[in-house]
Amino acid sequence: MSRIGKQLINLPKDVEFRKVENKISIKGPKGEITKVLPQNIEVVKLESGLLSVTRVIEDRKSRELHGLFRSLLSNMVTGVSAGFVKILDMKGVGYKANVDKDTLVLNVGYSHPVRITAPTGIKFQVETNTIVRVIGIDKEEVGLVAQKIRAIRPPEPYKGKGIMYRGEVIQRKAGKSSK
């Protein structure tokens, strides 16, 4: 049995769980997320307020999906109750960011400002012109948007300039050595 799949998911008091046929819906104070349940996986709400994820059939595909879907379900519960945040730091001379309604405007050394429109369910916050927060309830979506922002100007190894995740370590290289 999957070590992750057999763990129970704690459902907070302010979070609702609904299952209609093969769709699972989790609603909380931050919003609502819906996912389609795979055929071989069963989700049951226990009396104690816990969610249990089990396999219906013991084949290879079911075993693969068991732990994965339990993790996705746990992320859904965390997202609607607390939310997810990715923090990006910008390093470089003249690098700055600001938010215009739901659009993030980045000045990162190009001849023009780069504009990124926030997808549905994602919000941008800018602190001190060089710190960008990507906030949302869907962990996957928050990670994809943060990755898209980082890809605009990835950190380079010589001077360490660019957009990087908070806590990311950039392996620095030595420059040319003179003789």
Q: State pTM to two decimals.
A: 0.86
pLDDT of residue 62: 87
Architecture of domain 9-81: Alpha-Beta Complex (3.90)
Question: Does 84-165 match 9-81 at the fold level?
Answer: yes
Task: Scan for tokens 């609603």, then name that residue.
Answer: 27
Q: DSSP class of residue 169?
A: P
Residue 134 has pLDDT above 60, yes or no: yes
pLDDT (0 to 100) of residue 78: 93
Going from N- to C-terminal start, the domains of the chain cover 9-81, 84-165
The answer to whether the beta carbons of residues 7 and 70 sit under 8 Å apart is: yes
Would the pLDDT of 6 be above 90? no
Q: Which residues pair with 54 in a beta bridge?
A: 42
- 2 burial (CB, 10 Å; 0-12 / 13-18 / 19+) is middle
Over range 158-163, report the average pLDDT.
Answer: 91
Q: How far apart are CA 28 and CA 15, in angstroms?
A: 4
- The residues pairing with 18 across neighbouring beta strands, listed in sequence order, are 25
As a three-state string, the secondary structure of 84-122 is EEEEEEEECCCCEEEEECCEEEEECCCCCCEEEECCCCE
As a whole number, mean pLDDT of residues 68-76 equals 93
- 84-165 is classed CATH 3.90.930.12: yes
d(C-alpha 143, C-alpha 84), whole Å? 9
pLDDT at 156 over 70: yes
Contact 10, 49 (CB under 8 A): yes
Residue 47: predicted pLDDT = 83
